[in-house]
Every structure is written in C-alpha cells, then in structure tokens.
C-alpha cells in the first residue's frame, strides 16, 4: 500500500536558518509495509548545505553566538597602573590546567619505582617503628602478598633487604653467599610465582656481619677492601644463581663493580645487570633503615668508605670508575638532599640514573603528615617528581605502593 509522507519543512526551525525559506512541496513515496502492522509517517528534515550557510554569512546574516565575556573586575582599591612593557610573560603558559599539563616537562609513573622490601625468617609481618607503613615481611606469605599489591598498580620492580638472625652473623659475613640463605630462597619463591618480576638485590656484608659494617673489619678497625670484594663476588653469584635480575653493590669498596662483572660473567650470568651505588654518602638519613635490619655498626662509622656529604666533584670520580668497570645503572643515595649529585651524574653519563629516597626522608614525610603539618600525599608526590626532574630514571622508595595507588587514582 502507499503512504503519503510529508517532507518536513514544518519540522525545520526556519528562523535559525538565516535567509532560508522552507519549501512547500510534498512527495508521494511508496514505502512497503507489513500486512499486519501500520507505521506512522516518516519525516525527512531539510538541512541547508555548507554553501548556503556561507552565502548567508557573506550576506551579513551572521548566526548569533554568546557575547564577548566581560573583563573580570579587580577588587576595590586595586591601583590603576599601565601595563608593564613585557614581550614575554611566562605565566601565559600556566594559566589553565590544560596548558600546564600540555607543557609539563617531567612525568612519573609506577614503572619508575623500585619498591624496597624488608624480609625475615618469621611468619608474621613485624611493624618497623621508625618507618610507619613498613614491615619486616614474612618471606613466604607477607612478602608475596605485598608484591601482588604492588604489581596490581604497576610496580613490578622490587629490591630485597634481609633481617638476618644474629646467630648467622660472623666477622666475614659468610652467610651472605649461602645458596639456601634467606635472600636466595626468597628470590626463587618470587620467581616461581611471578616470573616477570624484576628483582634487585643488595650486595654488601652489613646485614651478615657481626660488626655491622659493609666489609670485613681488621683488628685495628680498618675495613679491608680487597678481601671484602672477594666475599661480595660470591654473594652476587649466589643471588644470580637464584634468579636475581640486578645485583646492587652498596658497600662502596673500590673496584667492586669490575670484580662483580668478571665473577658474574665467569659463571655464565652475562645477562645479570649491576646497579652500582655510585655516590653513596655517609649520611645521617639512614637511621630508620638500620633499625629495620638491626645492622648498626658495632663501633665507629662508615666514613672511610662512604662519601663525605660535603663533596661534589668526588662523585664524578666514582662515576667514571663505575662506568669503566661495567656498571649498568648508577645510583645516588640519599635522594632529595642530593639532587645536585643526581643532576651531575645525569649530565655526565649516558647510563640510567637511580635515586634512593632513603628511610630518613620517608620517615620525615610520614611524621610531618601524621602531625598534620603537611599534606603527606602531596609532599610525597612532589618529592618523587623532584627526583625525576633532577634526572633520576628510577627511584627506590618506600612510598612506591602508596605513590602508585595515587597515580592510579585509588584512595589511600
């Protein structure tokens, strides 16, 4: 059957189409209809072509638009002054969130974080008093759960620090290269559950030393360099055998990077990277960490092997030695108080740069946040962004999980 369908000039709001007149035509169209159903008439809307709109504008019939917004009023009492004769006003590029985002020079993501995790032989997760939110994690359960949480928000790199029982500590730190020790066991467990997890390890004797130093201590208190390096090589090989991806000598012994590279290569671990603690300063910011591992020196300090906080150029010497010996990543520790050193290494080396936001930095932000003296989350994120801006490619931070959740938009 045939339906009479009206072409729909009446449906067009002609006043909104300046200069257009609705045609007065109808069309007889045959539209097939099911035998048992009837449909209402279909309406066809007439739309002007681009050329008709352009012709209307050319003829002076310009469509209406919102008026020019008024100039915002200044507060009463604002002085009337001539504009400064400035050709460049940097604030123009900061005037809106969209512009600030477009011109942001530094970015940060969970992929930039390496999450330091403390482990022990126990089953329970033990809180660390000086580091709120951090625990000595049971290596079989608590650690695995914490790694899962980190991976859920994009943090897939961790570094392990063990709390070793006093009965296993010795002057020569032999437990450091026990193939069935706490760290190798933990690496094997994690690699079995998360094969793609990137595991960094700490290479140093202080957690295993009955003296609490990073090296073997002679009877006159001197830290023995070459003998310590010998032990460190065995420690790094044991970690690589367990599945470590990156070994990280934090001891600051001379020549240890080259010796570790040779030892790893000799055992077939050419694929294992070395992140050298290139510029590790004898800092007072390490206190909470040493509480976490119960690894304070039994006597003296670490100033004969860690760098003087007053020194800047010395970092270049350490950098050149580590580069020539085969380091893959150069690390600066501590982080925020040493932004100038991070930038120095960034400007003088093509290698990736790591920064360690140490326990004292973390604890200060936590303490000030708990006292409502600062906005903890904002200060945390700002501090991490500053490390990135200074030139750090990766950041070792105890805030990795919290910061990644913030970046992912999760609530604390």
Whole-angstrom distance, CA of residue 60 vs CA of residue 146: 69
Question: What H or E segment, with its residue span, contains residue 241?
Answer: helix 225-242
Which alpha helices (H) appear in 87-221, and where do they start and end? Answer: 97-102, 142-152, 182-193
Whether 280 is a known active-site residue: answer: yes
How far, CA to CA in Å, does 281 sit from each of 189, 284, 331, 371? 33, 9, 11, 29
Largest CA distance in the chain: 113
Q: Which residue has the tokens 């951090």?
A: 134
Catalytic-role residue among 163, 169, 280, 302: 280
Catalytic-role residue among 333, 366, 372, 411: 333
- Cβ(232)–Cβ(204) under 8 Å? yes
* 22: Cβ contacts below 8 Å, ≥ 6 apart: 9, 10, 12, 14, 46
Candidates 244, 134, 248; CA nearest to 189 is 244
Instruction: Report the Cα 307 to chain-centroid distance in Å.
Output: 26
How far, CA to CA in Å, does 285 sit from each of 34, 70, 276, 331, 374? 84, 55, 19, 16, 20
Q: Exposed, middle or buried by CB within 10 Å (0-12, 13-18, 19+), for 394? A: buried
Whether 303 is a known active-site residue: answer: no
* 364: Cβ contacts below 8 Å, ≥ 6 apart: none
Whole-angstrom distance, CA of residue 395 vs CA of residue 387: 8
- Cβ(349)–Cβ(319) under 8 Å? yes
Whole-angstrom distance, CA of residue 377 vs CA of residue 369: 8
- Cβ(317)–Cβ(157) under 8 Å? no
Query: Residue 235: what are its φ and ψ, rounded to 5°?
Result: -65, -45
Candidates 246, 248, 252, 239; CA nearest to 302 is 252
- As annotated, the active-site residues are 280, 333
């Amino acid at each position: 059957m045939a339906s009479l369908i009206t072409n729909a000039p009446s449906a067009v709001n002609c006043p909104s189409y300046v200069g257009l007149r609705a045609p007065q035509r109808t069309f007889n169209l045959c539209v097939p209809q099911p035998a048992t159903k009837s449909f209402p008439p279909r309406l066809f809307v007439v739309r002007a072509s681009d050329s008709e709109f352009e012709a209307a504008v050319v003829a002076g019939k310009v469509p209406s638009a919102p008026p020019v917004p008024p100039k915002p009023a200044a507060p009463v009492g604002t002085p009337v002054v001539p504009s400064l004769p400035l050709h460049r006003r940097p604030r123009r590029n900061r005037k809106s969130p969209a512009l600030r985002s477009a011109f942001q020079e530094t970015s940060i993501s969970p992929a930039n974080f390496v999450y330091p995790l403390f482990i022990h032989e126990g089953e329970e997760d033990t809180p660390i008093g000086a580091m709120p939110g951090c625990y000595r994690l049971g290596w079989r359960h608590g650690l695995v759960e914490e790694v899962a949480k980190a991976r859920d928000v994009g943090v897939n790199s961790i570094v392990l620090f063990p709390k070793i029982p006093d009965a296993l500590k010795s002057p020569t730190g032999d437990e450091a290269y026990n193939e069935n020790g706490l760290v190798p066991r933990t690496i094997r467990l994690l690699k079995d559950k998360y094969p793609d997890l990137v595991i960094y390890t700490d290479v140093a004797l202080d957690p295993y030393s009955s003296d609490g130093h990073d090296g073997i201590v002679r009877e006159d208190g001197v830290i023995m360099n070459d003998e310590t390096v010998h032990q460190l090589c065995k420690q790094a090989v044991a970690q690589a055998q367990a599945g470590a991806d990156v070994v990280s000598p934090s001891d600051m012994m001379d020549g240890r990077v080259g010796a570790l590279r040779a030892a790893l290569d000799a055992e077939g671990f050419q694929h294992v990277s070395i992140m050298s603690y290139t510029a590790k300063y004898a800092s007072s910011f390490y206190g909470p960490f040493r509480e976490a591992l119960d690894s304070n020196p039994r006597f003296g300090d670490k100033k004969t092997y860690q760098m003087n906080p007053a020194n800047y150029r010395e970092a270049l010497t350490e950098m050149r030695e580590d580069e020539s010996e085969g380091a893959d990543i150069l690390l600066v520790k501590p982080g925020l108080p040493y932004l100038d050193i991070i930038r120095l290494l960034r400007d003088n080396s093509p290698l990736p740069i790591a920064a360690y936001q140490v326990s004292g930095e973390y604890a200060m932000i936590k303490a000030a946040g708990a006292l409502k003296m600062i906005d903890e989350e904002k200060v945390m994120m700002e501090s991490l962004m500053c490390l990135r801006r200074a030139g750090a490619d990766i950041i070792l931070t105890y805030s990795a999980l919290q910061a990644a959740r913030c970046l992912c938009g999760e609530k604390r």
